[in-house]
Amino acid sequence: MTNDNLLIYPTVDLFVYDLADGIGQTEDKISQNRQQFWQKIYGDKLSQPQQAQLEQAETEIGDYYIDLLGNQKVAAFESPLDGYAYPVKFGDTYAVQFDLSGKIEPDSDQKFAPKEIACLEWLKSTIVSRFN
């Protein structure tokens, strides 16, 4: 293994934007937009009470820029993935940053062990599959 093809703690970030509420959209369409956005982050694990809580947080704060998870800020990926989703709303747009660094190694000293550059393709496909 040569040092030319190694990265220490590689990460891939992906930014996704969705329309939250467009001009002339009905409440049903806005609700559908909201549900589709949150499914990109939580998938099928999004419960009705959780969705209602997220909707309330979104409407209670009338600012132009809203941290949609409040003080929590990020939604961590499930173990063993080392990553998170950071959703916000600004104006009429939902935005989320997906960040993935790979799988958590059982030995914490190995977290920063060099990895082959080819792992970037795996990181990219894993992060894209989260919101498709």
pLDDT of residue 130: 75
Which of 38-42, 44-48, 103-107 is most confident? 38-42
| DSSP code of residue 70 | G
pLDDT of residue 51: 79
pLDDT of residue 109: 60
In which domain, by residue range, is 12 found? Answer: 3-131
3-class DSSP state of 88:
strand
Amino acid at 29: K
> Which residue is listed with tokens 């792992």?
119
Number of domains in the chain: 1
Q: What is the maximal distance between C-alpha atoms in the chain?
A: 58
| The two structure tokens encoding residue 17 | 């934007």
pLDDT in tens, 54-72: 777 777 666 688 888 877 8
pLDDT of residue 99: 93
pLDDT of residue 68: 86
pLDDT in tens, 83-122: 999 999 988 899 999 999 887 766 656 556 788 888 899 9
- 114 upstream amide cis, omega within 30 of 0: no
pLDDT of residue 29: 93
